[in-house]
Protein backbone atom coordinates (compact mmCIF):
# COMPACT_ATOMS: atom_id res chain seq x y z
CA UNK A 1 0.00 0.00 0.00
CA UNK A 2 2.93 2.34 0.63
CA UNK A 3 3.91 2.04 -3.03
CA UNK A 4 0.40 2.90 -4.19
CA UNK A 5 0.26 5.97 -1.95
CA UNK A 6 3.65 7.12 -3.22
CA UNK A 7 2.60 6.52 -6.83
CA UNK A 8 -0.57 8.59 -6.39
CA UNK A 9 1.31 11.48 -4.79
CA UNK A 10 4.11 11.30 -7.35
CA UNK A 11 1.67 11.53 -10.24
CA UNK A 12 -0.09 14.48 -8.64
CA UNK A 13 3.22 16.29 -8.15
CA UNK A 14 4.43 15.38 -11.63
CA UNK A 15 1.36 16.90 -13.29
CA UNK A 16 2.03 20.17 -11.48
CA UNK A 17 5.81 20.37 -11.80
CA UNK A 18 6.76 18.94 -15.17
CA UNK A 19 5.55 22.01 -17.16
CA UNK A 20 7.75 24.20 -14.95
CA UNK A 21 10.77 21.96 -15.51
CA UNK A 22 10.20 21.86 -19.27
CA UNK A 23 9.96 25.66 -19.36
CA UNK A 24 13.14 25.90 -17.24
CA UNK A 25 15.11 23.68 -19.63
CA UNK A 26 13.87 25.58 -22.70
CA UNK A 27 14.69 28.96 -21.15
CA UNK A 28 18.11 27.70 -20.08
CA UNK A 29 18.85 26.57 -23.62
CA UNK A 30 17.61 29.82 -25.19
CA UNK A 31 19.48 31.97 -22.68
CA UNK A 32 22.70 29.99 -23.23
CA UNK A 33 22.40 30.25 -27.01
CA UNK A 34 21.86 34.00 -26.80
CA UNK A 35 25.00 34.38 -24.70
CA UNK A 36 27.01 32.07 -26.97
CA UNK A 37 26.09 33.97 -30.13
CA UNK A 38 26.52 37.36 -28.43
CA UNK A 39 22.84 38.33 -28.42
CA UNK A 40 23.44 39.46 -24.85
CA UNK A 41 22.28 43.04 -25.14
CA UNK A 42 19.00 44.83 -25.65
CA UNK A 43 15.46 44.40 -24.44
CA UNK A 44 14.96 40.87 -25.81
CA UNK A 45 17.95 39.51 -23.90
CA UNK A 46 16.82 41.31 -20.74
CA UNK A 47 13.40 39.68 -21.05
CA UNK A 48 14.84 36.18 -21.51
CA UNK A 49 17.32 36.72 -18.69
CA UNK A 50 14.47 37.74 -16.39
CA UNK A 51 12.37 34.74 -17.46
CA UNK A 52 15.29 32.39 -16.94
CA UNK A 53 15.99 33.67 -13.42
CA UNK A 54 12.27 33.64 -12.62
CA UNK A 55 11.94 30.03 -13.83
CA UNK A 56 15.04 29.02 -11.88
CA UNK A 57 13.74 30.46 -8.61
CA UNK A 58 10.16 29.54 -9.42
CA UNK A 59 10.99 25.86 -9.80
CA UNK A 60 12.42 25.78 -6.27
CA UNK A 61 9.46 27.67 -4.81
CA UNK A 62 6.99 25.52 -6.74
CA UNK A 63 8.62 22.30 -5.52
CA UNK A 64 8.35 23.40 -1.89
CA UNK A 65 4.81 24.71 -2.42
CA UNK A 66 3.48 21.50 -3.96
CA UNK A 67 5.21 19.32 -1.35
CA UNK A 68 3.45 21.32 1.35
CA UNK A 69 0.16 21.38 -0.58
CA UNK A 70 0.12 17.62 -1.12
CA UNK A 71 0.49 17.01 2.62
CA UNK A 72 -2.13 19.60 3.51
CA UNK A 73 -4.73 18.53 0.96
CA UNK A 74 -4.04 14.82 1.31
CA UNK A 75 -4.19 14.55 5.10
CA UNK A 76 -5.50 17.74 6.67
CA UNK A 77 -8.34 18.81 4.39
CA UNK A 78 -11.27 17.24 2.56
CA UNK A 79 -9.08 14.69 0.79
CA UNK A 80 -8.11 13.44 4.23
CA UNK A 81 -11.51 11.78 4.59
CA UNK A 82 -10.63 9.47 1.70
CA UNK A 83 -7.03 9.00 2.80
CA UNK A 84 -7.87 7.91 6.35
CA UNK A 85 -10.72 5.72 5.11
CA UNK A 86 -8.14 3.50 3.41
CA UNK A 87 -6.85 0.44 5.31
CA UNK A 88 -3.51 2.16 5.87
CA UNK A 89 -1.88 3.23 9.11
CA UNK A 90 -1.19 6.87 9.87
CA UNK A 91 2.54 6.22 9.92
CA UNK A 92 2.33 4.82 6.37
CA UNK A 93 0.59 7.98 5.16
CA UNK A 94 3.28 10.14 6.73
CA UNK A 95 6.10 7.96 5.38
CA UNK A 96 4.68 8.14 1.85
CA UNK A 97 4.57 11.94 2.02
CA UNK A 98 8.12 12.18 3.38
CA UNK A 99 9.58 9.81 0.77
CA UNK A 100 7.85 11.66 -2.07
CA UNK A 101 9.10 14.97 -0.74
CA UNK A 102 12.66 13.60 -0.66
CA UNK A 103 12.34 12.29 -4.21
CA UNK A 104 11.15 15.63 -5.52
CA UNK A 105 13.83 17.51 -3.63
CA UNK A 106 16.41 15.29 -5.33
CA UNK A 107 14.74 15.81 -8.70
CA UNK A 108 14.86 19.57 -8.12
CA UNK A 109 18.57 19.35 -7.38
CA UNK A 110 19.17 17.26 -10.50
CA UNK A 111 17.24 19.75 -12.61
CA UNK A 112 19.40 22.62 -11.35
CA UNK A 113 22.53 20.61 -12.12
CA UNK A 114 21.14 19.83 -15.58
CA UNK A 115 20.61 23.54 -16.22
CA UNK A 116 24.20 24.27 -15.23
CA UNK A 117 25.41 21.46 -17.50
CA UNK A 118 23.36 22.82 -20.42
CA UNK A 119 24.75 26.30 -19.90
CA UNK A 120 28.31 25.04 -19.65
CA UNK A 121 27.95 22.81 -22.70
CA UNK A 122 26.27 25.40 -24.92
CA UNK A 123 28.43 28.35 -23.92
CA UNK A 124 31.63 26.33 -24.17
CA UNK A 125 32.02 22.72 -25.25
CA UNK A 126 31.66 19.30 -23.73
CA UNK A 127 35.44 18.97 -23.62
CA UNK A 128 35.80 22.31 -21.84
CA UNK A 129 33.13 21.36 -19.33
CA UNK A 130 34.84 18.04 -18.63
CA UNK A 131 38.17 19.81 -18.28
CA UNK A 132 36.62 22.33 -15.89
CA UNK A 133 35.27 19.61 -13.60
CA UNK A 134 38.58 17.74 -13.77
CA UNK A 135 40.44 20.86 -12.65
CA UNK A 136 37.92 21.43 -9.85
CA UNK A 137 38.33 17.85 -8.64
CA UNK A 138 42.10 18.19 -8.68
CA UNK A 139 42.00 21.58 -6.94
CA UNK A 140 39.95 20.21 -4.07
CA UNK A 141 41.69 16.85 -4.02
CA UNK A 142 38.48 14.98 -4.73
CA UNK A 143 40.38 12.09 -6.22
CA UNK A 144 41.89 11.30 -2.84
CA UNK A 145 40.24 8.65 -0.68
CA UNK A 146 40.03 10.77 2.47
CA UNK A 147 38.45 13.67 0.64
CA UNK A 148 35.94 11.39 -1.07
CA UNK A 149 34.98 10.03 2.34
CA UNK A 150 34.49 13.57 3.63
CA UNK A 151 32.31 14.43 0.63
CA UNK A 152 30.23 11.31 1.28
CA UNK A 153 29.80 12.31 4.92
CA UNK A 154 28.65 15.78 3.88
CA UNK A 155 26.14 14.26 1.46
CA UNK A 156 24.76 12.02 4.22
CA UNK A 157 24.50 14.99 6.57
CA UNK A 158 22.70 17.10 3.95
CA UNK A 159 20.26 14.26 3.25
CA UNK A 160 19.52 13.86 6.97
CA UNK A 161 19.01 17.60 7.36
CA UNK A 162 16.67 17.60 4.36
CA UNK A 163 14.61 14.78 5.89
CA UNK A 164 14.50 16.61 9.23
CA UNK A 165 13.38 19.82 7.51
CA UNK A 166 10.58 18.02 5.66
CA UNK A 167 9.41 16.37 8.89
CA UNK A 168 9.53 19.73 10.65
CA UNK A 169 7.33 21.37 8.00
CA UNK A 170 4.81 18.54 8.28
CA UNK A 171 4.83 18.75 12.07
CA UNK A 172 4.28 22.52 11.96
CA UNK A 173 1.31 22.08 9.63
CA UNK A 174 -0.14 19.41 11.90
CA UNK A 175 0.29 21.66 14.96
CA UNK A 176 -1.36 24.55 13.15
CA UNK A 177 -4.29 22.29 12.23
CA UNK A 178 -5.05 21.81 15.93
CA UNK A 179 -6.38 25.37 16.04
CA UNK A 180 -9.52 26.62 14.38
CA UNK A 181 -8.07 30.05 13.56
CA UNK A 182 -4.74 31.44 12.37
CA UNK A 183 -3.49 28.00 11.45
CA UNK A 184 -0.79 29.29 9.10
CA UNK A 185 0.50 31.85 11.59
CA UNK A 186 0.68 29.22 14.32
CA UNK A 187 2.51 26.84 11.98
CA UNK A 188 5.06 29.53 11.10
CA UNK A 189 5.50 30.45 14.78
CA UNK A 190 6.07 26.77 15.59
CA UNK A 191 8.73 26.60 12.85
CA UNK A 192 10.55 29.64 14.22
CA UNK A 193 10.51 28.42 17.82
CA UNK A 194 11.73 24.94 16.87
CA UNK A 195 14.53 26.34 14.70
CA UNK A 196 15.72 28.51 17.60
CA UNK A 197 15.62 25.56 19.99
CA UNK A 198 17.51 23.43 17.48
CA UNK A 199 20.24 26.02 17.26
CA UNK A 200 20.71 25.82 21.04
CA UNK A 201 20.72 22.01 20.84
CA UNK A 202 23.38 22.15 18.15
CA UNK A 203 25.56 24.54 20.19
CA UNK A 204 25.19 22.30 23.25
CA UNK A 205 26.25 19.21 21.32
CA UNK A 206 29.26 20.98 19.86
CA UNK A 207 30.35 22.13 23.31
CA UNK A 208 29.82 18.62 24.62
CA UNK A 209 31.96 17.27 21.82
CA UNK A 210 34.77 19.75 22.59
CA UNK A 211 34.71 18.70 26.24
CA UNK A 212 34.63 14.92 25.86
CA UNK A 213 36.06 14.03 22.45
CA UNK A 214 39.77 14.40 23.24
CA UNK A 215 40.06 12.51 26.55
CA UNK A 216 37.45 9.80 26.14
CA UNK A 217 36.64 9.51 22.42
CA UNK A 218 33.02 8.94 23.40
CA UNK A 219 31.84 11.55 20.91
CA UNK A 220 33.21 12.10 17.41
CA UNK A 221 32.66 14.86 14.88
CA UNK A 222 30.75 12.46 12.62
CA UNK A 223 28.45 11.45 15.45
CA UNK A 224 27.85 15.07 16.43
CA UNK A 225 26.88 15.84 12.82
CA UNK A 226 24.28 13.11 12.48
CA UNK A 227 22.73 13.10 15.97
CA UNK A 228 20.65 16.33 15.67
CA UNK A 229 18.93 15.62 12.32
CA UNK A 230 18.16 11.99 13.20
CA UNK A 231 16.83 12.86 16.65
CA UNK A 232 14.83 15.85 15.40
CA UNK A 233 13.39 14.01 12.39
CA UNK A 234 12.16 11.25 14.68
CA UNK A 235 10.70 13.76 17.12
CA UNK A 236 8.90 15.72 14.38
CA UNK A 237 7.56 12.54 12.80
CA UNK A 238 6.30 11.28 16.18
CA UNK A 239 4.54 14.59 16.85
CA UNK A 240 2.95 14.54 13.39
CA UNK A 241 1.81 10.95 13.89
CA UNK A 242 0.32 11.72 17.32
CA UNK A 243 -1.67 14.67 16.00
CA UNK A 244 -2.92 12.91 12.87
CA UNK A 245 -3.69 9.66 14.68
CA UNK A 246 -5.15 10.98 17.94
CA UNK A 247 -6.09 14.64 17.52
CA UNK A 248 -7.06 15.08 13.86
CA UNK A 249 -10.35 16.87 13.27
CA UNK A 250 -11.44 17.21 9.64
CA UNK A 251 -14.76 18.84 10.44
Per residue in 79-95, pLDDT (tens digit) is 888 888 888 899 999 99
- Residues found in the chain: 251
Contact 169, 76 (CB under 8 A): no
The answer to whether residue 215 scores a pLDDT higher than 50 is no
Q: Which residue has the higher pLDDT, 42 or 22?
A: 22
The answer to whether residue 16 scores a pLDDT higher than 70 is yes
The answer to whether residue 157 scores a pLDDT higher than 70 is yes
Q: Name the pLDDT band for 219 (thresholds 50, 70, 90).
A: very low
Give the pLDDT confidence of 92-106 residue by residue, as tens digits.
999 999 999 999 999
pLDDT on residue 226? 80
Q: Name the pLDDT band for 194 (thresholds 50, 70, 90).
A: very high
Q: Name the pLDDT band for 128 (thresholds 50, 70, 90).
A: low
137-145 average pLDDT score: 56
Contacts 24+ apart (CB under 8 A), 242-245: 243/171, 243/174, 243/175, 243/177, 243/178, 244/75, 244/90, 244/93, 244/94, 244/174, 245/90
Q: What is the DSSP string of 139-206?
A: HTTTTSHHHHHHHHHHHHHHHHHHHHHHHHHHHHHHHHHTSSS-HHHHHHHHHHHHHHHHHHHHHHHH
Q: Name the pLDDT band for 123 (thresholds 50, 70, 90).
A: confident
pLDDT on residue 217? 44
The answer to whether residue 73 scores a pLDDT higher than 60 is yes
| Least confident stretch, 204-213, 223-232, 239-248 | 204-213
Q: Which residue has the higher pLDDT, 127 or 108?
A: 108
The answer to whether residue 145 scores a pLDDT higher than 60 is no
Q: What is the pTM of this model?
A: 0.82
Q: Which residue has the higher pLDDT, 186 or 219?
A: 186
Amino acid sequence: MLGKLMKYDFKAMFRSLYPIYVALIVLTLVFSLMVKFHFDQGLLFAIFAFLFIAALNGSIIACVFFVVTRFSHGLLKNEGYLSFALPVSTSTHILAKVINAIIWALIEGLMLCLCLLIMGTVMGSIREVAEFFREVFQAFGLIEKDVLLTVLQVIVFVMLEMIASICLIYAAMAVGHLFSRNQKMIAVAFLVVVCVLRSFLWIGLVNLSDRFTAPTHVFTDDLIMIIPPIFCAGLYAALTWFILDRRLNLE
